[in-house]
Chains A and B, each alone.
Chain A
Amino acid sequence: MRTTFRTQAMAITKRDLMRERRSGEVLWVTLPFGAIALLLIPIAIGTDRPTLRAIGIGLFWVIVMLFGVLIAVRQAHTETQAQRDVVALAGIDPAAGYVGRALASFFLLIGFEAVLAVVTVALYDVPLDGWIWMPLVMVLVGAGLSLLGTLAASIVSTGRSASALVPLLVAPLSVPLLIGATQTFEALRLGRSSLTWTLMMTIVVLLLAIAGVLSARTLQESG
C-alpha cells in the first residue's frame, strides 16, 4: 500500500505540471511578460548595437531571476489548505512533496530560460562565445530558483501575509545565483576559468536542496 519517495515525488511533479498545462499561467502570462521586458529595454535605452551586446547577457539573467521567481513561487497562491490536507493525509512524505514541487518548477523554468535565451540572442545580438556552458548554467539557475521558490512558497503558505513575504525571502537569496550566472559568462568573455562560479552555484543548489528536504516536515506542520 505504501509507496516510495520517488513515486510520491513524481506524482507531485506530474500533478503540478498538469495543473500548469491547464491553467497556462507560465505559458500565457509569465513567459510573454518576460519576453516583453527584454523587448522594452532596447526601446528605452536605444538600439546602439555595442551597448546591447554588452548588456544582453546580464539583462537576460536579471529577467530570468525576476520572472523566474514568479514561476517558482506560484504554488504559494495556487494551493489551498484543504488541498494541502489531502496531500498530507495521503501519507505523502513532506520531503517528497518538496522535491516533486521543485522538480515541476525546474522543468517550467528550463523552458522559460530557453525561450528567453532565443529572444535575447535575437534582440541583443549577444555573442555566442562560451555558449557550450549555457545549458549547465541554465540548469543550475533553474534548479536553484526552483528549490528556493519552493522553499519560500512552503514558508509563506503557513502565514496569512503569505505572498507579500515572497520577494523579501527570495530576492536576497537569489543574488548568488545571479552573480554566478553573469560572472560565468564574464569570465568566459575575458578568457578566464568559470569553474569557481559554477562551483558556487552548485553549492547554493545543494544547500537549498538540503534545507528544503530537512525543513519540509516542519513547514508542513506549521501550515
Chain B
Amino acid sequence: MVENGTIVSLQDISVRAGATHILRNVILNVQPGEAVGVFGANGAGKTTLLRLLATLLKPASGSGVVLGADLNNDERYEVRHRIGYIGHVPGLYPEMTLDENLSFIATAMGIDGAAVASSLAAVGLAGAADRRAEVCSHGMQRRAEFARILMAQPEFLLLDEPHSALDGSAVDLVDDLVRQTIEAGGAAVLVSHDRSRVDDLATFSVEIAGGTLS
C-alpha cells in the first residue's frame, strides 16, 4: 500500500501556538503495519500531535515526513486524501443528513456515490441515512465519521479517542478497521485514555507529557 517504507518519520519536531510550545523535540517513526498508542493527560499535546501527523499543522522547527511528504513544504497537500483523521469533535454539518454529509465528501474526493450507502450500512446507520446530524446522538455521529473513513479507505488512520461514545458493536467495528488498515500495509495512531483497549491494537505505545514524547 505504501511505497518506500516509512509512514511517519518525525525528527526533533516542535509545534508552537504563539509563544507556547505545544510539542517539543518530538521523535517518532511509524512503519507500515504498525499501530501506535498515544497516551497522556489532558493538554499534554495529543491532539496537536494528531493534527501534525494529519498535515494540518506545520512544524515550527525540526523535520518530518508523512506518507513520503515533507511536512515543511507543499508536498503535504498531496497526501491528505490518503489520511483518515477523526478528531474528538465530530466534523459533520449539523443541518445536513448523514447521507448528505458523506455524499459531499464522496463528490469532493471522487468516490463512487454507491459507497455512501454501503459505508453507512457497514456502521449500522443504514436506517438513519436521512436523519440530520444535529438530531443524531454523539455515538451515531462518531459512527458516521467512521463511515466516512470506510468510504475513503485511507492508508494512515489518526484516531482521537476512537472508542469514546461507542457501544460494543461499534467498538469492534473500529478495532476491525484499524486491523484491516495495518494488515493492508497502512498504519494507525490512536490517542486514548482507555489504555487496555488500545494496547490490544497497538504495536507499541508512547506517553506524551508537556508536549514531549517518551
Q: Taking beta carbons and an 8 Å cutoff, which residues of A are in contact with B?
A: 1-3, 7-8, 11-12, 14-15, 18-19, 22-23, 80-83, 85-92, 217, 221
Contacts and interface: CB of A to CB of B under 8 A. Distances in A.
Interface stretch (B28-36, B103-111, B176-184, B192-200): B103-111
B95 interface: yes
Contacts of B81: 1-2, 89-91
A38 B81 CA distance: 48
B107 A3 contact: yes
Interface size class of B (residues with CB under 8 A): 20 to 34
B78 to A, nearest CB: 8
Interface string B3-32: 000000000000000000000000000000
Given A1-B81, A15-B96, A83 B91 contact: yes
Contacts of B100: 18
B38 interface: no
A188 to B, nearest CB: 42
Given A14-B104, A221-B58, A3 B96 contact: no
Nearest to A87: B108
A89 B80 contact: yes
A12 B105 CA distance: 10
Given A82-B89, A83-B93, A217-B77, A89 B56 contact: yes
Given A85-B54, A217-B77, A90 B108 contact: yes
B95 A89 contact: no
Contacts of A7: 107-108, 110
Contact of A2 (B58, B92, B95, B110): B110
Given A3-B108, A8-B108, A89-B80, A15 B87 contact: no
B85 interface: yes
Given A86-B91, A89-B83, A18 B108 contact: no
Q: Most A CB atoms within 10 A — which of B54, B91, B96?
A: B91
A217 B91 CA distance: 20
Contacts of B107: 3, 7, 11, 14
Given A18-B96, A80-B91, A83-B93, A88 B80 contact: yes
A18 B103 CA distance: 12
Contact of A85 (B74, B87, B93, B109): B87
A80 B96 contact: no
B56 A85 contact: yes
Given A7-B108, A92-B108, A217-B77, A15 B91 contact: no
B97 to A, nearest CB: 9
Contacts of A19: 93, 95-96
Contacts of B108: 3, 7-8, 11-12, 87, 90-92
Contacts of B111: 1
A91 B56 contact: no
Contacts of B138: none
A1 B89 contact: no
A87 B92 CA distance: 10
A82 to B, nearest CB: 4
